[in-house]
Structure 1
Amino acid sequence: MPGMDTASTGNGLAAAKGGYRMMSAATTLPTDEAAVYRFTITGPDGKPVTDFAVDQTKRMHFYAIRSDLTGFQHLHPTMAADGTWTAPLAALRPGPWRLYASFTPDSGSGEGEDLVLSRTVKVPGTAKATTLPKVSGTTTVDGYTVAVKGDLMAGMAHELTASLTKDGKPVTDLQPYLDTYAHLTAFHQGDTAFAHLHPETRVDGDHGGPALSFHAVFAQSGDWRLFLQFRTGGKLHTAAITLHVG
């Protein structure tokens, strides 16, 4: 269905699914400094997968989130000929982190299936948790105000809309980002379950907005932290907002 990643009906918390496994020797990453995380995806035959379909211009989408739902990073790692992926991470604060690989095999038994696998790592040091911001329908980032609406129920498809304004005026100059006008990722408070959603709005040049519609499916009830990424003037913005799913 346009606007919905089929992986969004899962929670992304497993390292293996359908015979595919996310493998990495790393269990820790350095504190407060840039680092690289290397991993492979093995298939049902136990061998590294090297054939991936392109999804939103990339063969692999990679996410990092701290257990308190801070420190969000969305990267596009590079793959070596042997199937080893390298993700360049910005500095990480101390604490437990979960790292997600979102991909679609382009051959084999899982061909065409959208998968999200994840592994955890620890970053040494004193971990000070940040309290999740209260549920709110609006947030601001870089001078933009983002308002999100939707009557969301766990396990059910609903429309979610995001509207953008700046200085009280509707934003109409959104630029395409990964073949869409906005990229939306969400994580569940408590277990960091994953949901990945895309706007249904058709891309038409550098004048997207002010409203974006999403086909939203959240696997669990509770509070979710949403990260909306959009581009204007060649700059990528990331707005974070907390929503409740009934």
Structure 2
Amino acid sequence: MPGIPGMPGMAHAAGTSQGLARGLAAEQDGYRLDAATCSVPAGRPTAYRFTITGPDGTPVTDFAVHQTRKLHFYAIRTDLTGFQHLHPDLADDGTWTADLAALAPGTWRLYADFIPNTGPHAPELVLSRTVTVPGRATPTPLPAPTDSTTVDGYTVTLHAQPMAGAHQLTATVSQDGRPVTDLQPYLDAYAHLSAFHEGDQALAHLHPANTVNGDHGGPTLTFQALLPEPGNWRVFLQFQTAGQLHTAELTLHVD
């Protein structure tokens, strides 16, 4: 398919190094995301298999652990719906298997976020490619920007005046108007936050700054944010209480 990353040389087609750093290419620094298919069936769970090929041309089998996992895998449709955050299984031959929940028809971008286990200064890399899910695709308009949303009875509020570039982003969690203080660790933090840019689906993975101290997280969550460009970003904040994972979604406008 024209325009689908994932073949040798497509990293150059993505444009600048900034584009590579934002997770919009299948190849960076000699590492490449390879998959056997560019199409995924609609309406049913799918085992999506892929490899990360290293600079020597062979599948990588040694990955550093970051945020308790060797690889984080994301799926998002072009209209920024259908978010999935998975942790695939790695086979001895370097093949990863991501168990995707059913995808709606349309074009989806799939991201692999990892650190090669090559030493203490190895970079975090985000590679991606697109897949097509056949069928009639009905785009969902992006919800208007807001600073607060509710999920599973919890209210999540963002406190920021976001500008393009690096800054600090703070969120608070409440329930029925009361501060929540029993957040449990999830991926070695009290919350995990990912953001996708409207239009090109650039990924920003925001790192938590809070110190973990048992099941006593909240109500305030702090993130070191790097949102590289202005516009609307769809934000997905994941947190855990009583063993249940919650995903709060909202649109953030960045000047």
TM range (shorter): over 0.9
Q: Distance in 2 between matches of 1:79 and 1:199?
A: 26
Q: 2:49 aligns with which of 38, 49, 73?
A: 38
Q: Distance in 1 between matches of 2:152 and 2:253?
A: 24
How far has the Cα of 1:10 moved from its partner? 2.6
Match of 1:11 in 2: 22
Equivalent runs, 1:26-175 vs 2, <5 Å: 26-107=37-118, 112-154=122-164, 156-175=165-184
Match of 2:196 in 1: 187
Per-residue CA deviation, residues 50-95 of structure 1 (Å, 9 max, x unaligned), is: 1100001100100000000000000000111110000000010000
TM-score, with length taken from structure 2: 0.91
Which fold has the larger relative contact order, with Cα–Cα distance below 8 Å and residues 6 or more apart in sequence? 1
Q: Distance in 1 between matches of 2:96 and 2:88?
A: 6
In structure 2, stretches of 5+ residues that fail to align are: 1-17
Per-residue CA deviation, residues 99-136 of structure 1 (Å, 9 max, x unaligned), is: 0000000028x962100000100000000000110000
Match of 1:4 in 2: none
Q: Distance in 2 between matches of 1:199 and 1:88?
A: 26
Match of 1:226 in 2: 235
Amino acid at match of 1:28: S
Per-residue CA deviation, residues 186-232 of structure 1 (Å, 9 max, x unaligned), is: 00000100000122010001010000011111111100000000000
In structure 1, stretches of 5+ residues that fail to align are: 1-6
Per-residue CA deviation, residues 159-206 of structure 1 (Å, 9 max, x unaligned), is: 100001100100001000010000000000001000001220100010
Q: Percent identity?
A: 62
2:246 is equivalent to residue 237 of structure 1: yes
> Could you list the runs of 4 or more consecutive aligned residues of structure 1 that deviate by over 4 angstroms after TM superposition?
none
How far has the Cα of 1:140 moved from its partner? 0.5
Tell me if the contact between 1:65 and 1:99 (Cα under 8 Å) persists in the aligned partners: yes
Q: 2:186 aligns with which of 150, 160, 177?
A: 177
SS of the equivalent of 1:157 reads strand
Q: Distance in 1 between matches of 2:161 and 2:58?
A: 43
Tell me if the contact between 1:174 and 1:230 (Cα under 8 Å) persists in the aligned partners: yes
